[in-house]
Amino acid sequence: MIQVSNLTKRYGGRTAVDDISFTVAPGEIVGLLGPNGAGKSTTMRVLSGFMPATSGTVRVAGLDVFHDSDEVRRRIGYMPENNPLYPEMRVREYLKFRARLKGLGWKNSRARVDAVMEQCALTDASGRVIGQLSKGYKQRVGLADALVHEPELIILDEPTIGLDPQQIRSVRALIKSLADKHTVLISTHILPEVEMMCSRVLIMLGGKVLASDTPENLQRRMAGGSQIIAEIAAPESALRAVWENLPEVASFNLTAADGHYFRCALTPRAGLDLRPVIFGIARENDWQLRELTRSRHSLEDIYMQVTKPTTEEVE
């Protein structure tokens, strides 16, 4: 659906996007993740045909976004950063206006506006002035606008920013429901969001794509460093002896917990799951085991690790 190759965008003497390449297959929900200023919005602006690339090519549905701009724009529903709307217009009026701008006929635009208002749960607000709507409603108006001409590709720049948890939930559910019919590219700097919604994550930083994979794979890649935490009631010396003699354990750390319990933080050798082994040992020795967990690296850790150098630079 999207093919970006060697895209570079410079403006104002700054390189906002630096030679990035990625592809998005039809039906994917891809999240562009990165701190502010990473080049997410710029990438999206180029994709939407608002600005041309300095170099490199961007194709949407096989069409060049600069040369076949009209055709590409027909296939894209784009919601820019901060979801700009006309505050003086009414919801239905705005959506109809937008439908007309997107080349829909009079009759067709009416039908589509009704459909998207239904889809985005806006029907009860159709006569209200946009400027007086709550942020959650406004965001849904923006989404409805992006959907009104039935685009193949939907590009949403930070769709959940500034919403309260309830509103975020409803907007996320809405975006997720788009997956079967549309390809979706969203940008965000909120991690749980990509974990929940996206089938693939692109981590951007300083105008480059640092990683691109499914959220699960990214976590797996980091799994080597994950630790097993076990709380066992046993003599300290016995525990030490056991962990030292266990070949699967690379290193360990014991701390006394309340009562007879000791908290063992065990680092396994690459990729091994120690949990069954630990349970086996506890049962053999008749030790009480009250906790056994694997601390999984969340996307947050991955993100922090990947984006670390610049945060330090900035500070």
Partner 1 sequence: MKIFWALFRKELAAFFFSLTGYVIIAAITLLTGFSFVVLVQNLGTDPSPMPVTEMFYRTYFFWLIVLLATPVITMRLFALEKASGTFETLMTTQVGDTQVVAAKFSAALFFYLFAWLPLLGCLFIVRHFTHQNAALDAGTMGGMFLGIFLTGGLFLSLGCFASSLTKSQMAAAMISFVLGVSLFALGFLAEAIPASARWSAQVISYFGLFEQMHDFARGVVDTRAVIFYASATFLFLFLTLRVVESRRWK
**Of 101, 111, 238, 304, which lies in the binding site for partner 1, with binding defined by CB under 8 A?**
101
Q: In sequence order, what are the beta bridge partners of 30?
A: 185, 200
As measured in angstroms, the least distance from the Cβ of 66 to partner 1 is: 8
**Region for 150 from its dihedrals, namely left if φ exceeds 0, alpha if ψ lies in -120 to 50, beta otherwise:** left
Instruction: Tell the smallest beta-carbon distance from residue 137 to partner 1 (Å).
Output: 17
Strands 227-233 and 208-213: unpaired
Asked whether the beta carbons of 52 and 67 are under 8 A apart, the reply is no
Q: How far is the CB of 83 from partner 1 (least distance, A)?
A: 8
The residue range among 49-57, 163-171, 189-197, 215-223 that interacts with partner 1, by the rule CB under 8 A, is: 49-57
Strands 249-256 and 227-233: unpaired
68 binds partner 1 per the rule CB under 8 A: no
Helix, strand, or coil here: 128? Answer: coil
* 74 in contact with partner 1 (CB under 8 A): yes
Q: Which is nearer to partner 1, 48 or 227 (CB)?
A: 48
* 111 lies in the site for partner 1, by CB under 8 A: no
Pick the closest to residue 201 from 299, 124, 118, 290 (CA basis): 299
Which residue of 5, 86, 135, 256 would you call a contact of partner 1, by CB under 8 A?
Answer: 86
* Measured distance CA(258)–CA(80) in Å, rounded: 53
One of 20, 30, 76, 232 touching partner 1 (CB under 8 A)? 76
Site of tokens 């045909």: 49
Shortest Cβ 29–partner 1 spacing (Å): 20
Residue in 82, 214, 285, 305 binding partner 1, rule: CB under 8 A: 82
CB of 159 to partner 1, least distance (A): 14
Cβ neighbourhood burial of 98 (10 Å; 0-12, 13-18, 19+): buried
Q: In this chain, which of 75, 98, 140, 297 binds partner 1, going by CB under 8 A? A: 98
Indicate the pairing of strand 76-79 with strand 153-157.
parallel
Check binding of 45 to partner 1 (CB under 8 A): yes
Task: Find the shortest distance in angstroms from Cβ 77 to partner 1.
Answer: 9
Collapsing DSSP to helix, strand or coil, 231 comes out as strand
Place of tokens 């000791």: 262
- Note the residues at the interface with partner 1 (CB under 8 A): 11, 45, 48-52, 70, 73-74, 76, 78-82, 84-86, 88-89, 97-98, 100-103, 105, 145
